[in-house]
Structure 1
Amino acid sequence: MLRMFLFVYFFCIFFTQTVAFSAQSSADISTTNEQKRSVLKEMLGARADSLPSEEEYVIGYGDILTVSIFEEGDMSVSAPTNADTDAQETEQPPSAGSGTPVMMDGRISLKHIGDVEVVGLTLTEFADYLKRLYSTIYDDPIVTTTLAQSKSLRYTVMGEVKSPGIFSLEFPMNLVQIVARSGGFTEWASKTITVVRKIIKEEDKALFKGHTLIFDYDNFITGKALDKNIIIRSNDIIIID
């Protein structure tokens, strides 16, 4: 009988705490889904008159982003509270790739506003979007968004390098850097590189024949055809002979 009483007692305590926590979590979200959709629709409508430039990074699935507000700190749902930060004796630098991942539904979760859609936005558009949402909570917030790690842009390296494979394009890289990142040439390599690119833009046509570019490394190190040491794009296939 005593065991039954204790079980019921602790179950009631646990259930009450769980309900209270859930209610607190829901109440912490101050922006409605209708508000988010309205702001995003307005932004995308304005974008039709001014498309992002080719140099602007477009957020994709799996990317890891950091979001912070001046004087408020990190807005990641897993970020430590001010109390936790003050309790630390020494400040630890953020680890590589720290931040909030973009989920497979194209959203990330942030403090006070919950899940927001981000896939397809540039980092600048994302910051503007969040500024408008957080303006319902903070007075004129200064929002900073950063790409901590790119996971959505990838390229493929095949052939006579020591470490071929599929790699994340985390920052701009040229062909020579790609070879270095792949461990360098094997002893059997002729050091001729073929780049296969699916989408050929106007600026590519001077160097590409159809969808391929041929890069001769031996010519390059003698100072010839330096312009063929191109910057790799997402989905490029690099074949090393």
Structure 2
Amino acid sequence: MMRSILYLSVIISLAACATTAQNPIPAWETKAGDPLTPQAEYKIQAGDQLDIKFFYNSELNESVAVRPDGRISLQLLGDIAVHGVTPSQLENLLRNRYASQLANPEVAVIVKAFNMQKVFVDGHVVKPGAFPLVGFMTVMQSLSQAGGLKDGAKRKEVLVIRRDDQGKPSVLKINLDKAISGEDMEQDIYLTPFDIVFVPRSTIGNVNQFVDLYIRKNLPFGAGVGYSIPTY
């Protein structure tokens, strides 16, 4: 139990650094089998490795690292600020910037490597802890990094705790059995930086109450970081 609390201390500290709540922020629950809320498109960060590929001007293709100042350098354009924009937003920006120099500036932006961002796996797994978010990692891939599930793990009730762009926490309840069987592969969702994957070993009757008890009440600073979750 102490090890779980230690991991969650790190988790909540990192997840809260992007947003400080002025008031308690509610979470919501999706039931197993319900459509999952789409995650926001990834935003480029300093240290990311980007592949810039031109469909009709391959001589301009580049692989560039986002510098600590949040900029990249590209042929014909020089420095461009990219920190905090999505790959699709950067594609639109590059099309507009290259329009005066190229006849058909169709371009794709691919995030090839992420800047050591992490996800956290806890609960009834072999090796709970923090793991690098490599590429487009799914829940099942993160569980593999954690050594897999222990016997008796509730695969139909795995939780993913995530904050949106405004810092509002969401609790997603997913059914890994459906993903494993191929019945519903959308249950094996992609993870975003600082997501928490929690595998219970017993049935959770009320997800909000569980997260409230496990995080806010077990950590002395839980409410202080704005991760207050109401009970119903």
TM-score where L is the length of structure 1: 0.49
Task: Report which stretch shifted further, 127-136 or 227-236.
Answer: 227-236
Matched, 1:110 2:95: no
In structure 2, list runs of 5 or more residues that go unmatched. 1-37, 201-232
Cα pair distance change 1:125/1:161, threshold 3 Å = same
Displacement of 1:197 after TM fit?
3.1
Corresponding residue for residue 136 of structure 2: 171
Q: 1:64 aligns with which of 41, 46, 49?
A: 49
In structure 1, list runs of 5 or more residues that go unmatched. 1-52, 77-98, 205-209
Q: 1:161 aligns with which of 109, 126, 136?
A: 126
Q: Distance in 2 between matches of 1:196 and 1:106?
A: 28
* Alpha carbons 2:161, 2:171 under 8 Å: kept: yes
Q: Percent identical across equivalent pairs? A: 23
What letter is aligned with 1:73? E
* Alpha carbons 1:66, 1:74 under 8 Å: kept: no
* Alpha carbons 2:118, 2:130 under 8 Å: kept: no
Cα pair distance change 1:191/1:116, threshold 3 Å = same
Q: Distance in 2 between matches of 1:221 and 1:230?
A: 6
What letter is aligned with 2:44? I
1:105-143 Cα deviation digits (max 9, x unpaired): 111121222211112222222122112222343333332
* Alpha carbons 1:75, 1:110 under 8 Å: kept: no
* Alpha carbons 1:197, 1:236 under 8 Å: kept: yes
Q: Distance in 2 between matches of 1:130 and 1:184?
A: 42
Corresponding residue for residue 65 of structure 2: 101
SS in 1 for 2:132: strand
Q: Distance in 2 between matches of 1:141 and 1:54?
A: 29
Cα pair distance change 1:166/1:140, threshold 3 Å = same
How does 1:73-152 map onto structure 2 within 5 Å? 73-76=59-62, 99-151=63-115
1:190-214 Cα deviation digits (max 9, x unpaired): 424554334599xx9xxxxx85566
Cα pair distance change 1:120/1:238, threshold 3 Å = same
Cα pair distance change 1:137/1:216, threshold 3 Å = closer
SS in 1 for 2:109: strand
Corresponding residue for residue 185 of structure 1: 149
Q: 2:161 aligns with which of 191, 196, 205?
A: 196
Displacement of 1:156 after TM fit?
1.2
Alignment RMSD (CA, Å):
3.9
Q: Provide the aligned length of Structure 1 versus Structure 2.
A: 154
Corresponding residue for residue 238 of structure 1: 197
Higher relative contact order (CA 8 A, sep 6+): 2
Q: Distance in 1 between matches of 2:58 and 2:186?
A: 46
SS in 2 for 1:166: strand
Q: Distance in 1 between matches of 2:109 and 2:178?
A: 38
Corresponding residue for residue 224 of structure 2: none
Q: Distance in 2 between matches of 1:140 and 1:228?
A: 36
Larger radius of gyration between Structure 1 and Structure 2 = 1
* Alpha carbons 1:191, 1:216 under 8 Å: kept: no
